């Protein structure tokens, strides 16, 4: 467990450091392309360390009972997270641009009416759902790390984008929200404009990824828990 905690801290810490305070000074020295190679290498190495440490960590008792009600709730939330993830891959100004200018939609549509960080919230919801249905200590460590990385990373993205895009990013912030549904509740956005890449793609990913639990872990997740 100590090794898993160290690996998890390294994974989260290096991501945040290389994405934000250390990015500019390193890019100035080695250039954008070399930096991307360093970033990818560090990310892959710390992820591999975390995976190996997770597999080596001893199983412990579940911290609370998990019944069909918890599974059903997590299954629905994971469908929502899958739609957020697939919707985030098109016209997402929060994604890295490699030094180029970001492209901002004129109005928030689809998943961006829910939150301006749909990808990050998808990862965060993944982490929270996995904690809810599998409350074993080693799983909580990893899932909580993913959740923290996603939500802290999203907040830091706001600050970074405001600095890099001082004309366009504040306008995008004004019609979107960090917290899911906050822009809709406040009247800044209207729930509309969902494309098939978000709805259809999210549904397919939701089914496929939950099915993968069967061959990988030996037990069914999502809807497959009831129909497998």
The per-residue pLDDT for range 109-123, each reduced to its tens digit, is 999 999 999 999 999
Q: Are 116 and 172 in contact (CB under 8 A)?
A: yes
Cα–Cα dist 146/16, whole Å = 12
Find the mean pLDDT for residues 74-94.
93
pLDDT at 97: 62
Q: What is the pTM of this model?
A: 0.90
Find the mean pLDDT for residues 18-29.
87
Q: To the nearest whole percent, how much of the chain has pLDDT over 70? A: 96
Find the mean pLDDT for residues 47-64.
94
Tens of pLDDT, residues 152-167:
999 999 998 888 888 8
Q: To the nearest whole percent, how much of the chain has pLDDT over 90? A: 72
Q: How confident is the model at residue 216 (pLDDT cuts 50, 70, 90)?
A: confident
Tokens, residue 177: 């929200």
Q: Are 224 and 212 in contact (CB under 8 A)?
A: no
**Which residues make Cβ contacts (< 8 Å) with residue 112, sequence separation at least 6?**
87, 91, 92, 105, 118, 176, 189
pLDDT at 99: 56
Q: How confident is the model at residue 20 (pLDDT cuts 50, 70, 90)?
A: confident
pLDDT at 101: 60
**Which residues make Cβ contacts (< 8 Å) with residue 218, sequence separation at least 6?**
none
Q: How confident is the model at residue 98 (pLDDT cuts 50, 70, 90)?
A: low
* Owner of token pair 């001082």: 166
**How much is the mean pLDDT over the chain?**
92
Q: Are 176 and 109 in contact (CB under 8 A)?
A: no
């Amino acid at each position: 467990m100590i090794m898993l905690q160290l690996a998890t801290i390294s994974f989260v810490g290096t991501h945040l450091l290389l994405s934000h305070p250390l990015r500019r000074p390193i890019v100035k020295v080695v250039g954008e392309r070399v930096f991307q190679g360093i970033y990818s290498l560090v990310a892959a190495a710390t992820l591999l360390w975390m995976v190996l440490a997770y597999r080596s960590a001893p199983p412990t008792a579940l911290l609370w009972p998990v019944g069909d009600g918890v599974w059903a709730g997590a299954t629905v939330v994971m469908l929502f997270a899958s739609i957020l993830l697939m919707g985030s891959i098109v016209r997402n100004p929060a994604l890295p641009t490699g030094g180029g200018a970001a492209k901002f939609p004129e109005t928030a549509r689809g998943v961006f009416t829910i939150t301006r960080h749909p990808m990050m919230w998808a990862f965060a919801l993944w982490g929270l759902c996995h904690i809810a249905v599998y409350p074993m200590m080693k799983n909580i460590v990893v899932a909580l790390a993913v959740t923290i990385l996603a939500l802290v990373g999203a907040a830091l993205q706001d600050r970074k984008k405001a600095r890099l895009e001082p004309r366009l990013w504040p306008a995008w912030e004004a019609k979107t929200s960090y917290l899911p549904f906050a822009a809709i509740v406040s009247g800044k956005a209207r729930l509309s404009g969902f494309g098939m890449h978000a709805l259809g793609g999210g549904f397919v990913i939701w089914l496929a990824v939950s099915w993968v639990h069967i061959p990988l872990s030996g037990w069914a997740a999502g809807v497959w828990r009831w129909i497998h």
